[in-house]
Structure 1
Amino acid sequence: MISTWRKRRAGRRAAKEQQQGENGDMELITIPNHFRCPISLDFMKDPVTLSTGITYDRDSIEKWIEAGNHTCPVTNQVFRSLEPIPNHTIRKMIQDWCVDNKSYGIERIPTPRIPVSSTEVSEILSKITMASKREDQVWCRELVAKIKALVKESERDKRCIMGSKAGSVISAAFETFSIAPSFDKNVAVLEEILSALTLLSPIDEEAKCYLGSAASLHCMVWFLKDGDLSARRSAALVLKEAISSNERVIDALAEIEGALEALVKLIKEPICPTATKASLMVIYHMVNSSFPNETIIERFVDMGLVSLLLEILVDAERRICEEALGVLDGLCSSDIGRDKVFNNALSMPVLVKKLLRVSDLATEFSVSIIWKLCKNEQKEEGGGVLIEALQVGAFQKLLLLIQVGCADKTKEKATELLKWLNLHRDRLECIDSMDFKDLKRPF
């Protein structure tokens, strides 16, 4: 028994001494200074050299340049070029050193993939322009697919591509193939371009001009109506970028046969949350423009959009909830939209429920809609909307909203609503709401 115990103790002592010896060896390993980045002082995993001749780790020097610095951190000289050149010699030396010290637990750094350069991107974009002018849809499709692959490769490549105005070039190609006589033969390349544009968001104003043309809009509506699921999703996302509160594009889109119906269908028969959000955002711009078109709102109302939005709001996620409430708020700007919301039994319960439950933006939209519904009711003897609002606990929530704080415009509407609701409180006992029992003040 004692002998066994002594053997175990001796074994533990030997293992401990061996571990201490290994730790001592590790402490003796020193990383050569020329393997360290002058900025981060860490081991360089992707060494690159700039015009001043100093080598840095790519990630560190790119962050230095992105911060607005155009001088060398070591020599303080102004960079003649901001294009980093891979230092293959140093990288190979670092990898060999890692292999030689593998026994000490040092792993060999992998050979980094060289990111795309602005020159390479410019060459590809130039070829895309040439291919579109020749209406060579096969060549153009291959080039656009190459851009897509580079964008997906890394965020660094995506920044480089977007900085080279890729969105404008590809959008111009989309317009060119949209107005071509043989539209059916160009469906494949147009679909590839739409898919690429979804990865280049946000697009610049020049790209929006190309996408806002009559030919481009007709093409995107065609994909919304007759494309496959992927094409419909891409068309909705790109259309959201193209429309962005542009009155001319909004009017042009509304005049295209089947455009509004296709947008509503994406909400009624959802493909994915992203497509639903994009469709809601397009509709939001159409009903909340500076000079909202009553005809557009009336058409959306006739399609049953009000009841569809209220049903979605019952259990929608935050972003969809915000956008649906924004669309409802726009619809309530017209008499026909307000009447439709007023006559729906779900309206007031859902709107009051969303107060202080989703987000500040959702609360602002909800208050605005309730205010619009109640505005014409405060002087009537019946006060149907006001009484219904009291029944579902609007008074308590609005009072709490003012206490916890909100935007000035929302606060003004909430205060006015409280005055109108207070006129009917003696006729009806408010129902206690438990929706905000755990709500904590932000101060």
Structure 2
Amino acid sequence: MIASVGLVRYAKCVLFGASTPRPEPDSGKVDFSAAAAAEVSVPADFRCPISLELMKDPVVVASGQTYDRESISHWIASGHATCPKTGQALAHQNLVPNKALKNLISLWCREENIPFDVTESEPNAVTANKAATEAARMTASFLVETLAASKETDAANRIVHELRQLATSGSDVRSFIGGAGGIPLLVPLLSSSEPNLQLNAVTALLNLSVLEANKKRIMHADGAIDGIVCVLSSGATWRARENAAAAVVSLSGVHSYRRRLGRDRRIVAELVNLVNVGPISTRKYSLDALASLAGDRENIRRLVESGVIKVALEAVEDADSADEAVAVLAALAKRGGAPELGVQEGVVRKLVRVLKNGSDSGRANAASALVYLCRKAGGGNLVAELAVVPGVEWVIWEMMASGTERGRRKAAALGRICRRWAVAAEADRLAARYSDVSLTVASSTRMAVAQ
């Protein structure tokens, strides 16, 4: 059946050309693999941070972040030893099934009439079937060749939309499209004045960028960075601009590309602007991109100078974007931005609010940011401000007992900082008291001698 579907798709493209895409609302949602869910707004928590697709087998890594098993397994197999979203080094490579989230996704899929396989993940069916694999290869080659020969905007839009959909079929298919030369043909379309063509082009590149080899092809394609900047700054729809931000997240998963993207002040400036003016989903992906760029110490100064701290602190106030914003602040504080962050008015109060009310990942990042602030930003005053916040000690103890592994470690470090400050403050108080007593005794002695 799988082979037949692949062959029929190839035959349809050869005989009838690419299908005409349906008009899409500017919903600000990124593509995901379930075809039946194409017209449904998927909750952000149900999408894998790597592939941006609906998770079918969510698993938790050592950093406490959740990914789809296929995506994170490919990430680890590619030689990475860090969490893609936070940049934190993974203490181990065990993948723990997130059964609670999987049950929620399954329930949501049933309510939305979307097929969902609740069994444990299996190898990609398309890539496991030789005939289907060959059909996908022929389809990818045919579409790329047709796009190269296409002169009309409407025809190009249909082909690019077909490539966009095909790129969600699996890693092998993404490899076929990239190997056939599809990426250099998509890059010039990023600056298209036709909204649907621009959206399809940037989304196709986003879907292709999930594959490591395609990241390299995109970053080395002439005009690719300029095209992404063009969509970020003047994309015809919010969805196109959001997907461009998501592409920055995907591409910056490679350390050298993260540094190269961070050096481009246009990208940083446009991401900051999207956080300021974009709708919530665009704002969240832009914050994710900034957090990813902050994973390289060399980028921190440029991020700070571009006003990232200010927009992230403002985004922390919004419950919808607090988790993404505090991840930016934690990354900045960790890699050299603590002094600049520490002088911002209300920073401790805002981070403590996330520490009390945020998600597990948000609380871990808030604790991490507070630890680095207390250690590297002239800590005394900030620790004093933190220690007098009502209930903060209880929150720290609660995190140490029931938080994620990373959250427990950061909470323990924060607790030690607060205890040391309390001991030092008490010592200073006693010293001042004894000093006052000594002065009183000395004064009395002098008066007695004088008498």
TM-score, normalised with respect to structure 2: 0.57
Structure 1 letter corresponding to 2:277: E
Using the alignment, how far apart are the partners of 2:235 and 2:138 within structure 1? 31
Correspondence 1:144 to 2:160: yes
Structure number with the bigger relative contact order (C-alpha 8 A, sep ≥ 6) is: 2
Using the alignment, how far apart are the partners of 2:193 and 2:381 within structure 1? 58
Using the alignment, how far apart are the partners of 2:417 and 2:342 within structure 1? 16
* Counterpart position of 1:302: 305
Correspondence 1:252 to 2:260: yes
* Counterpart position of 1:268: 276
Q: Deviations over 1:30-87 (max 9, x none)?
A: xxxxxxxxxxxxxxxxxxxxxxxxxxxxxx9x999975799xxxxxxxxx9787xxxx
Structure 2 letter corresponding to 1:125: A
Using the alignment, how far apart are the partners of 2:352 and 2:235 within structure 1? 39
What pairs with 1:31-430 in structure 2 (closer than 5 Å)?
67=122, 121-134=136-149, 136=151, 138=153, 139-148=155-164, 161-162=169-170, 164-166=172-174, 169=177, 172-178=181-187, 189-198=197-206, 200=207, 203-213=210-220, 215-229=223-237, 230-244=239-253, 246-270=254-278, 272-289=279-296, 292-293=297-298, 296-317=299-320, 320-335=321-336, 337-376=337-376, 383-393=380-390, 394-404=392-402, 406-407=404-405, 409-423=409-423, 426=426
Q: 1:334 to 1:130 in 2, by over 3 A?
A: same
Could you tell me how far 1:412 is from its partner in structure 2? Answer: 4.1
Q: Deviations over 1:355-402 (max 9, x none)?
A: 142222222211111111111578x8xx31111112213333223333
Could you tell me how far 1:256 is from its partner in structure 2? Answer: 3.3
Secondary structure of the 2:357 match is: coil
Q: 1:277 to 1:212 in 2, by over 3 A?
A: farther
Using the alignment, how far apart are the partners of 2:276 and 2:205 within structure 1? 25
Using the alignment, how far apart are the partners of 2:329 and 2:361 within structure 1? 13
Could you tell me how far 1:349 is from its partner in structure 2? Answer: 0.8
Identity of aligned residues (%): 16
Q: Deviations over 1:294-316 (max 9, x none)?
A: xx322322232212211211232
Asked if the contact 1:287–1:331 (Cα under 8 Å) also holds between the matched residues in 2, the reply is: yes
Could you tell me how far 1:177 is from its partner in structure 2? Answer: 4.5
Secondary structure of the 2:170 match is: helix
Using the alignment, how far apart are the partners of 1:424 and 1:287 within structure 2? 34
Q: 1:403 to 1:187 in 2, by over 3 A?
A: closer
Using the alignment, how far apart are the partners of 1:118 and 1:418 within structure 2? 59
After superposing the two structures, state which structure 1 stretch, 364-373 or 252-261, moved more.
252-261
Show structure 1 runs of 4+ deviating over 6 A: 62-66, 80-83, 185-188
Using the alignment, how far apart are the partners of 1:257 and 1:345 within structure 2? 26
Using the alignment, how far apart are the partners of 1:69 and 1:302 within structure 2? 45
What pairs with 1:23-38 in structure 2 (closer than 5 Å)?
none
Using the alignment, how far apart are the partners of 2:203 and 2:369 within structure 1? 36
Using the alignment, how far apart are the partners of 1:178 and 1:222 within structure 2? 11
Asked if the contact 1:212–1:243 (Cα under 8 Å) also holds between the matched residues in 2, the reply is: no
Aligned length: 305
Using the alignment, how far apart are the partners of 2:217 and 2:376 within structure 1? 44
Asked if the contact 2:348–2:386 (Cα under 8 Å) also holds between the matched residues in 1, the reply is: yes
Structure 1 letter corresponding to 2:327: G
Q: 1:65 to 1:280 in 2, by over 3 A?
A: closer
Q: Deviations over 1:85-118 (max 9, x none)?
A: xxxxxxxxxxxxxxxxxxxxxxxxxxxxxxxx66
Asked if the contact 2:323–2:361 (Cα under 8 Å) also holds between the matched residues in 1, the reply is: yes
Asked if the contact 1:177–1:183 (Cα under 8 Å) also holds between the matched residues in 2, the reply is: no
Q: 1:140 to 1:401 in 2, by over 3 A?
A: same
Uncovered stretches (5+) of structure 1, i.e. residues with no partner: 1-59, 71-79, 84-116, 152-157, 429-443
Q: 1:192 to 1:404 in 2, by over 3 A?
A: closer
Could you tell me how far 1:238 is from its partner in structure 2? Answer: 2.2
Could you tell me how far 1:190 is from its partner in structure 2? Answer: 4.9
Asked if the contact 1:174–1:193 (Cα under 8 Å) also holds between the matched residues in 2, the reply is: no
Using the alignment, how far apart are the partners of 1:69 and 1:312 within structure 2? 38
Using the alignment, how far apart are the partners of 1:264 and 1:144 within structure 2? 29
Uncovered stretches (5+) of structure 2, i.e. residues with no partner: 1-114, 430-451
TM-score, normalised with respect to structure 1: 0.58
Using the alignment, how far apart are the partners of 2:381 and 2:393 within structure 1? 15
Structure 2 letter corresponding to 1:300: L
Secondary structure of the 1:203 match is: coil
Q: Deviations over 1:108-161 (max 9, x none)?
A: xxxxxxxxx66654443112221354475644432222355x66xxxxxx87x3
Structure 2 letter corresponding to 1:250: R
Using the alignment, how far apart are the partners of 1:69 and 1:235 within structure 2? 27
Structure 2 letter corresponding to 1:297: I
Using the alignment, how far apart are the partners of 1:184 and 1:359 within structure 2? 40
Q: 1:310 to 1:69 in 2, by over 3 A?
A: closer
Could you tell me how far 1:197 is from its partner in structure 2? Answer: 4.5
Aligned-residue CA RMSD (Å): 4.0
